[in-house]
Chain A
Amino acid sequence: MKTKKQKIVNGILAAVMLVMSLFFLFPVIWMLANSFKPDAAITADMNSASAFIPPAPGKGFFDNYKEILFNTSFVRYMLNTLFYAAILIIAGVIVNGLAGYALAKIKFPFRDRWLAVIMMLMIIPTETIITINFMFVSKMGLLNTVFGYVLPMIVNPFNIFLFRQVFVSLPDDVWEAAQLDHCNPVKYFFTMVLPMSKTVVATVSVFTFLNVWNDYLWPSLVFTSSDLLTAQIGLNSITSNDNTTMGQTLAVITLITIPVIIIYSLFSKQIVEGVVSTGSKEG
């Protein structure tokens, strides 16, 4: 008897939540459905349920997407961003990983003080120093260059700390044995330490990618030349263009989200664990 009542309660709860989730997602559903329509159809459908239903696939179904992909520089912006992300993932894993390893395993002068400094740096928001960094980069003549964008973003106190926390639990004797064998420490780091810590390398890489892909403020300052724009900044230059239709705007914001969705579905476990652990670690 009780279980039957329980079942009904569960059913009602699920139904209520289903309705809630549809309300919650209505902007996204509307975006997807209308990204396949010409503007006339978007306006005509606005006041009916078909505002949330994509048109039947047929002639012109992908017109908005074709327009964005072939008649704007959007593909170039996407490739630019992938290129920056690749540089920052490789350079970030090397620089922050080496620093994290030194802080975890190598006894060098003031090591614990440095660790404290890094933890303090994690508090300072990037917005504090963005003006000065912009001034630096422009005085060095690095505006509108890949270097100007990438250099200030390589080092990341969070990632150093993350690497350090993982490397601390690696066994000590391997490092000692490597030293006895006169193994080159840099070679040891790349051939032993990193392969032993695939998870943290993956986590840092994924978060670096998401950060570069979604970043707005810094690339909007560094890049003004249209050849170098990242996808997010390029997106704005496309949508603020008067010739861009509503349907094309919806298509371009759908396109720009696809790579992120792919990353999330491939690495959802690491990401959710990362999100939850930030909560449990500090909370």
Chain B
Amino acid sequence: MKNKSNSVIGMAFFGPALVLMTVFLFIPMILTLIYSFTDYFALNPKLTHFVGLENFSTIFKDDLFTTAFLNTVKFVLIIVPLQTLGALGLALLINKVTVCKRYFKVAFFIPVVMSLAVVSNLWMQIYSPEGILNTILSNFGIDAQPFIYGADQALPSIAFMSVWQGVGYQMIIFLGGLQAINPALYEAAEMDHASGWSKFMNITLPELKPLCVFVFITVTIGAFRMIVQPMVMTGGGPSHSTYTIVYDIYETGTVNWEIGLASAMAIVFTVFVVILTIIQTILTRDKEDKHENKKAKNR
């Protein structure tokens, strides 16, 4: 009797979320998968055929999608090392500094609280041909740079701006990790007269390793999802140099209404994100198990 009422109450509690999840998460996911094998065109749904894997071969032959794919990879390759190492470096410095600690934490976190649209609009001014950055550079005898208006510089300029905005977030995560390291480890190392470098290599880095994996993967996924900054700042240009995968999904699906193609792109995109997440889960789980073992041994 009690079990029965429990399942009724349980479903009543879970029901509203389940309905919304079904309509706005499950069905769209299944439809994305199904549509990726069809030539579904939202303006003329009656002419839909099953086309097998044709969409996938089409998008990888498509110059625009391959450009978008490579651009996204470039974003990842610039953003991930800069943001991960930058955040780690800042966290180490702030952990070390004894004066104005709170000020430094806040200062490097400020860009995080600004929205993507705000940061993009601000840096459009900073990067403008007669803007403040070019003015400062001209004082060092550097010619005016096109930044986001030049096909060669637009992508690195946006990537740099994204690092500037995001680095404070991972810095806070690393600071949390640094503060969680047992001080006894350092005290023991000091008894052995270990150098600062060897303390860093033998204590700090190994203790932070799971966190490094987490930060590395989340920053990678974040960079992989890049769309708003190029959308606001360059419209994907000049000459598609800042066009990304998600931007292509967005335009193919919601502007051109080619749902079949857009779904195939979305599947490719999702596969990458899921693979990254699985790698992270495996790596961190491994570390955690070892950690547990170590703790068990110490007991």
Chain A residues with CB under 8 Å of chain B are: 10-11, 13-14, 17-18, 21, 24-28, 30-31, 43, 46-47, 51, 94-96, 98-99, 101-103, 106-109, 111, 114, 121, 123-125, 127-136, 151-152, 154-155, 157, 160, 179, 185-186, 189, 213-214, 216-217, 221, 232-233, 235-236, 239, 246, 249-250, 253, 256-257, 260-261, 264, 272, 275-276, 278-280, 282-283
Do B107 and A24 have beta carbons less than 8 Å apart?
Answer: yes
Q: What are 11 contact pairs spanning A and B, CB under 8 A? A: A14-B100, A102-B11, A111-B10, A214-B116, A257-B115, A260-B113, A275-B173, A275-B176, A276-B176, A280-B177, A280-B180
Q: Which residues of B contact A107 (CB under 8 A)?
A: 3, 6-7, 10
Q: A111-B10, A135-B42 are in contact. Are A236 and B132 (CB under 8 A)?
A: no
Nearest chain B CB to A25 CB, angstrom units: 6
Do A135 and B20 have beta carbons less than 8 Å apart?
Answer: no
Given contacts A102-B9, A283-B214, 11 further A-B contacts (CB under 8 A): A17-B104, A25-B110, A27-B164, A123-B277, A131-B249, A131-B253, A132-B259, A132-B263, A232-B118, A280-B176, A280-B177
Q: A25-B107, A134-B253, A185-B13 are in contact. Are A279 and B31 (CB under 8 A)?
A: no
Q: Which of B76-84, B148-156, B198-206, B268-276 contacts A (4 or more CB under 8 A)?
A: B268-276
Contact flags B1-15 to A (C-beta < 8 A → 1, else 0): 011001101111110
Do B125 and A24 have beta carbons less than 8 Å apart?
Answer: no
A126 nearest in chain B by CB position: B225
Do A131 and B17 have beta carbons less than 8 Å apart?
Answer: no
Do A125 and B29 have beta carbons less than 8 Å apart?
Answer: no
Q: Which residues of A contact B131 (CB under 8 A)?
A: 46
Do A109 and B210 have beta carbons less than 8 Å apart?
Answer: no
Q: Which of B49-57, B90-98, B183-191 contacts A (4 or more CB under 8 A)?
A: B90-98
Interface class of chain B by DSSP: helix
Q: A132-B32, A152-B24 are in contact. Are A27 and B126 (CB under 8 A)?
A: yes
Number of interface residues of B (CB under 8 A): 93
Nearest chain B CB to A64 CB, angstrom units: 13
Q: A129-B32, A131-B254, A232-B117 are in contact. Are A98 and B277 (CB under 8 A)?
A: no
Taking a contact as CB atoms closer than 8 A, the residue among B12, B28, B122 that contacts A129 in the complex is: B28
A214 to B277, CA, bound (A): 25
Q: A131-B254, A235-B121 are in contact. Are A99 and B111 (CB under 8 A)?
A: no
A128 to B121, CA, bound (A): 26
In this complex, the member of B98, B139, B231, B249 whose beta carbon has the largest number of chain A beta carbons within 10 angstroms is: B98
Do A18 and B100 have beta carbons less than 8 Å apart?
Answer: yes
A215 to B112, CA, bound (A): 14
Q: Which residues of B contact A10 (CB under 8 A)?
A: 97-99
Do B13 and A14 have beta carbons less than 8 Å apart?
Answer: no
A134 to B259, CA, bound (A): 11
Do A106 and B211 have beta carbons less than 8 Å apart?
Answer: no
